[in-house]
Amino acid sequence: MAASCSDTRGAMERSIRERVPPLLTDLYQFTMAYAYWRAGRHQEPAVFELFFRDNPFSGGFSLLAGLHDCLHFLQSFRFTDEDVEFLRSVLPPATDPAFFTFLRGLDCSGVTVHSVPEGTVVFARIPVMEVAGPLAVVQLLETSLLCLVNYASLVCSNAARFRLAAGPRRRLLEMGLRRAQGPDGGLTASRYSYIGGFDMTSNVQAGFLFGIPVAGTMAHSYVTSFTSLEEVWPQTLKAANGDQVDFISLAKGWLSRVCTRLEAESVKIHEGELAAFLTYAVAYPQNFLPVIDSYSVACSGLLNFCAVALALSELGYRPVGVRLDSGDLCRQSLEVRHVFRLCSQHFSMSSFDSLIIVGTNNFSESTMSELNKKENEIDVVGVGTHLVTCTKQPSLGCVYKLVEVRGSPRMKFSEDPEKSTVPGKKAVYRLMDTEGHPFLDVVCLAVEPAPTAGNPLTYYLRGEDTSRSVTPTQVMCLRQEVFTKGQVTYSLCNAKESRAKAQSSLQTLDSKHKRLQDPDTYPVAVSEKVYMLVAEIRRGSSTNSNFLLSN
Amino acid sequence: MAASCSDTRGAMERSIRERVPPLLTDLYQFTMAYAYWRAGRHQEPAVFELFFRDNPFSGGFSLLAGLHDCLHFLQSFRFTDEDVEFLRSVLPPATDPAFFTFLRGLDCSGVTVHSVPEGTVVFARIPVMEVAGPLAVVQLLETSLLCLVNYASLVCSNAARFRLAAGPRRRLLEMGLRRAQGPDGGLTASRYSYIGGFDMTSNVQAGFLFGIPVAGTMAHSYVTSFTSLEEVWPQTLKAANGDQVDFISLAKGWLSRVCTRLEAESVKIHEGELAAFLTYAVAYPQNFLPVIDSYSVACSGLLNFCAVALALSELGYRPVGVRLDSGDLCRQSLEVRHVFRLCSQHFSMSSFDSLIIVGTNNFSESTMSELNKKENEIDVVGVGTHLVTCTKQPSLGCVYKLVEVRGSPRMKFSEDPEKSTVPGKKAVYRLMDTEGHPFLDVVCLAVEPAPTAGNPLTYYLRGEDTSRSVTPTQVMCLRQEVFTKGQVTYSLCNAKESRAKAQSSLQTLDSKHKRLQDPDTYPVAVSEKVYMLVAEIRRGSSTNSNFLLSN
């Protein structure tokens, strides 16, 4: 049963203070903030960048998600007296009390954020979000922003991969709440799986909050709770034409005919299962879609389904389909479809031509991909654990790095070269070919003039010391201002709109970057100015002024 | 910097309605509830069991966690008008309006829960929680209970494995918030990692809510935000004896001496790093523990640390230690310790004998285990991603199965034999040997007399058809009543108490079951009565009454 429903209800805004209080961060943000404050540096203008180092799932792309939550978080960022009192108990006793007064007055009115819009295709090493503002404040925001972007982007990208694996025709149901990492993980998974390309969720609260279509019918426990036809109540069903009909007798008659036609042994049929289906059909004559593997699909579930569905059809209702939840789903779906066709022909029931088969049995990206290779008749796939926990790679590994203080660039060197950062406040441009396909993202300094269509641009690929040149036909500035002076300046979309944006952003990407296995790497480059700046800082670092001799 | 702090603040109770509203469940719970209600079966007494099918991480045990959240959830389980209105919009238009009135009046006053206590060692296939009550209500609780137990138990068990890998001496810091699956995932991870055996968390909100000791000092951004000694402020530090001292000059003097002693090139030392350390030391003279790999540990960070720490020591303060965050931590920790010993001896600074070395660089269970094999001097390990996302197995796969309705047992057969269930309302006993080590868990029917010490007990192992017998010297009833008539009847513990219980429960378990690789399987058996019941139901199922011929 599925229902498309209401709009976002502003509950994200209402609940963000509950979900992400400003104490939900690492202690070191506060120890650093105090040290900055003590040194009088807390108000210095600083710029941080948020990015990830590798595309998730060994893939060729990611989708940016979580921006909306970040914006609500920034807007509500404020410490209560209780928060501050707790911090006082945690920081050393010698901490200057005036620091806590400072914290109590903090908010994000001095913070400006530029970000790639929610649901945009992005790549490793692109600074997807830039957070500028007073040093102490933008430092304090780190952990919360990372937490909000990391999982949302990961699960959204995972969903997009499942969508690519499934192909455009098959409908996808997210049903991972019970296996998610906590209640909020489940809700986040439902929201961003939908944005990434799923069609429905089993999660009712996600329907309530985000307007995502919700779906679901019955569990095995429902079936096994019945043992006999005596439990069926009411025993009659009003036909579409208004007549009250003895539904049990009608279905039993159909069951006899189905068994005869299929040469099935009626002795193996579970009476409790038939009772469960009958009761369900009486409650939902328009929405009959039972799970048929509680005992045996071939020997019981499918026969009981056909009996009840034929009875419903005779009364003028359209049964919807079946769910398979164990065993070899492809093989079973073929058998089930075969029986549907037989019933349609033999009993002249056209309603059996449009029955759907739902498959739900621990689907992963690879078993989803196999559906395109193995013959099967599965119309709808439900995905839980592998989608919401992102088994292939359960963290995106977003980082948040300082790139500028007081207008001067900052760079982190590292024992591990992969962990070095790219200095300076930047702008990011996406270059498109004549067909509108993006082919190169270039990270420039913010002070550089933007690349323009028709003009050659010099760039450096990562790890290369030779420049290249390209003349784009279209240039898009990838990030936009989304927050300034304490206010959200980005037009927030509901889940449906974000989903449409994500799908259209993915559509423009060349399929070679969307291959699930061994995709072509989408090139992310730096401008000549960025390249020069890195070289200059590296030189400066290796011949650091010998301050030991000075003074 | 670490601080042990306050008790739980009741915020779990306050926030559970926000975190786990009754709509945070799968739609099929409602479609089934309506079908039950329509058939007049909603009040029938039913029993569900919660269990998992395999110990996580290919290990030999798990810890049960999440019970507290479940109890708060049950206590607050109630639908608002808004919830019910949303359900009305989702269920088919023909749904009887009286059903919604029924929902509006629902609560858990008819529900009784028996559970293994929080933090107890448990094994696959033990029904760790039993939920009994009106059929429609206990069905509605399924998804939320699974969601609350699944991740909590998983991450708690993961933490216990990290603790076993680390050995009892090394201190463990959980620092996974930024990589967790959403804000609530991060908070849950912090809570249950502590219960599983971690010592501290970086998550301030977890300290606030659960009284977990919090720790943290500085990020690389703090270090790279400084470029010159001119940024150090104040430039003086009050010595422990009260004198104001020119701290910069003092540290520069020590840096010269350190460089001379170590024959280090002062030209490679980063002035900005020294400025960062000085500023931090001035803010926290008692808590000096900087991250020393922002540029180069050997050529800059370690020298700057020694200079500032020697200056602090001279002024009567005890520096705390260093953090290493990249590269080969074992090798670096040896070098660092070597230099600490040199400084201690050469400059007669005994404070350098007790400095601690913190290592934080993407630790997994296996790299943690390696610390016991490779020489190193790491005292504290910070763990993030691999702990909180449980990379080795990101879901526990808990299930919730119907075992009894109206006093009569229920069983699910399946196309997949692993998915079949064990019928009947049960009790679970843990048998201990003379030394108090558990050696066998036996699942009995609730109506059976409990096994008693000194009396032989017949049991069947899973997959075996031959009975075995054992005479236990101690028997423990594993589950207890934790909730009845809408009230929690279990004495809730704070995180510290639960942690102590978990550690003592783990301690009694024989080490052969705690081996991280290829542990001995802990046997979980069923009583003779359970075995007979399964056999009887299987027989009954294969010769199901031929209801087609009746009537």
Q: Are the beta carbons of A216 and B175 separated by less than 8 Å?
A: no
DSSP B300-355: IIHHHHHHHHHHHHHTT----EEEE-SS-HHHHHHHHHHHHHHHHHHTT-GGGGS-
The DSSP secondary-structure symbol of A379 reads -
CA distance A294 to A302: 11
CA A373 to chain B, closest CA, distance in angstroms equals: 23
User: Any idea which residue has 């802990």 for tokens?
Assistant: B522
Of A147, A266, A271, the CB nearest to B177: A147
The complex's ipTM?
A: 0.94
Pick the residue from chain B with its C-alpha nearest to A136. B222
- What's A198-220 look like in SS3? CCEECEHHHHHHHCCCEECCCCH
Q: Give the gyration radius of chain A's Cα atoms.
A: 29
Tell me, what's the pLDDT at A523? 97
Q: Given this model, what pLDDT does residue A8 score?
A: 44
CA quadruple B407, B408, B409, B414: dihedral sign: negative
B442 to chain A nearest CA, in Å? Answer: 24
What is the C-alpha R_g of chain B? 29
**Chunked mean pLDDT (size 10), chain B, 551 residues:** 40 71 96 97 98 97 97 96 97 96 98 98 98 98 97 98 96 97 93 98 97 96 95 95 96 97 93 97 97 94 98 98 95 98 97 98 95 96 97 95 95 76 96 94 97 96 94 96 96 95 97 97 97 90 57 43
Which pLDDT belongs to residue A19? 86
- In degrees and rounded to multiples of 5, residue A40 shows phi and psi of 70, 20
Q: Residue B550: how many CB atoms within 10 A of its CB?
A: 9
Q: Which residues of A touch B389 (CB under 8 A)?
A: 181, 389, 394-395
- Concatenated DSSP letters of A210-276: H---EE----HHHHHT---GGG--S-EEE-TTS-EEEHHHHHHHHHHHHHHHHT--GGGS-HHHHHH
Closest in B227, B228, B391 to A394, CB measured:
B391
CA distance B550 to chain A (A): 10
Contact list in B for residue A329 (CB cut-off 8 A) is none
What is the pLDDT, as a whole number, of residue A540?
Answer: 77
Task: Give the model's pLDDT for residue B463.
Answer: 87
Residues of A in Cβ contact (< 8 Å) with B53: none
d(CA B551, CA B546): 11
**Cβ contact A548–B87 (<8 Å):** no
Q: Provide CB contacts within 8 A for B487, sequence distance 6+.
A: B75
Nearest to A150 among B3, B178, B287 (CB): B178
- Nearest CB to B28; choose among A31, A216, A390: A216
Structural domains of chain A ordered from first start: 167-388 (3.20.20.70)
Task: Report pLDDT for A5.
Answer: 34
Identify any residues that bridge with B236 across adjacent strands, giving them in sequence order.
B246
3-class secondary structure, A523: coil
C-alpha distances out from residue A290 to A390, A460, A469, B51, Å: 29, 58, 60, 25
The alpha-carbon gap from B414 to the nearest alpha carbon of chain A, in Å, equals: 5
Q: What is the pLDDT of residue B250?
A: 98
Q: Which of A189, A224, A249 sits opposite B410 (nearest CB)?
A: A224
Q: How far off is chain B from A416, nearest CA to CA, in Å?
A: 6
Interface contact flag, A270 B541, Cβ < 8 Å: yes
Q: Which of B35, B412, B542 is closest, CB to CB, to A220?
A: B412
Q: How far is A457 from chain B (nearest CA, A)?
A: 31
Given A143, A203, A252, which is nearest B178 (Cβ)?
A143
Q: Kindly determine whether residue A415 and residue B21, on different chains, have CB atoms separated by under 8 Å.
A: no
Is A186 in contact with B390 (Cβ distance < 8 A)? Answer: no
Low-confidence spans in chain A with pLDDT less than 50: 1-9, 544-545, 551
Q: For B330, phi and psi rounded to 5 degrees?
A: -60, -50
Separation CA B162–CA B154 (nearest Å): 12
Q: What is the dihedral of CA A354, A360, A365, A369, to 10 degrees?
A: -40
Q: Which of B34, B135, B158, B181 has the most A C-beta neighbours within 10 Å, making it the best mutation to test the interface with A? A: B181
pLDDT at residue B14, rounded to an integer: 54
Q: Which two tokens stand for residue B367?
A: 């790299």
In chain B, which residues have their Cβ closer than 8 Å to the Cβ of A269? Answer: 544, 547-548
The pairs formed by B250-254 with CB atoms below 8 angstroms and a separation of 24 or more are B250/B311, B250/B314, B250/B315, B251/B278, B251/B307, B251/B308, B251/B310, B251/B311, B252/A547, B252/A548, B252/A551, B252/B307, B253/B311, B254/B306, B254/B307, B254/B308, B254/B310, B254/B311, B254/B314
Q: Is A394 in contact with B398 (Cβ distance < 8 A)?
A: no
User: Best residue in B27, B79, B288 to probe A by mutation, most A CBs within 10 Å?
Assistant: B27
Chain A, nearest residue to B550 by Cα: A252
Q: Look at the alpha carbons of A298, A300, A301, A302 in this order and tell me if their dihedral is positive or negative.
A: positive
Q: Cα separation of B36 and A517, whole Å?
A: 46
